[in-house]
Amino acid sequence: MQFGGDAAGSVPGGAHGTEEAAAGGVPRASGVEDGALAEALEELLASWSGRTGITVETWALPGRRVPARVARGVLVAVEEALSNVERHSRARSVSVAVTAGQDSLKLTVSDGGVGFSRLAFGRGSAAMRTAFAELGGVLTVNGTPGGGTTVSGVVPLRDR
């Protein structure tokens, strides 16, 4: 699935119970209902791509519902990763993969932007790491100068 190009501005907001952010009309994580993560991600990615003009290549979305607390944490991380792509990367596209196995959920968000050469310790990186840590998971942010940035994380789907 790919978002971008002619679809700009054509995605309705507010479906699936998400709240609109004050800036930019991007759906916020607090409203994801009953673990419907794939639907919330589709809405988020289409809305964000339409607003920014940056193409989103969706490689995978979970094929099943996940616990609502996990869905909220994943959406927080994806929203922040997309915000960083928009503000810092100068990328023309971003790739997103979210897969849910029997015991864990894996997230990867990668862009082909400018990357960075030092560890990522800003507020956004901290928010993403915290969202996953609160769920018993781990999240990393890696950049390569001139080669883009990749956010990767894994979170358990079962109670700790």
User: Domain boundaries in the chain?
Assistant: 2-156
Strand segments, DSSP code E, in the chain are 2-3, 19-20, 27-28, 55-60, 93-100, 104-111, 138-144, 148-156
Superfamily (CATH) of domain 2-156: Histidine kinase-like ATPase, C-terminal domain (3.30.565.10)
C-alpha to C-alpha distance for 37 and 125, rounded to whole angstroms: 21
Q: Can you tell me the mean pLDDT for 99-124? A: 85
C-alpha to C-alpha distance for 56 and 1, rounded to whole angstroms: 8
pLDDT at 125 over 60: yes
Would you place residue 120 in the very low, low, confident or very high pLDDT band (cuts 50, 70, 90)?
A: low
**More confidently predicted of 6 and 135:** 135
The pLDDT value given to residue 11 = 31
pLDDT at 85 over 80: yes
State the burial class of residue 126 (Cβ atoms within 10 Å of its Cβ: 0-12, 13-18, 19+): middle
As a whole-number percent, the residues of the chain with pLDDT over 90 amount to 59
The pLDDT value given to residue 35 = 75
**Phi, psi at residue 152, to the nearest 5°?**
-130, 140
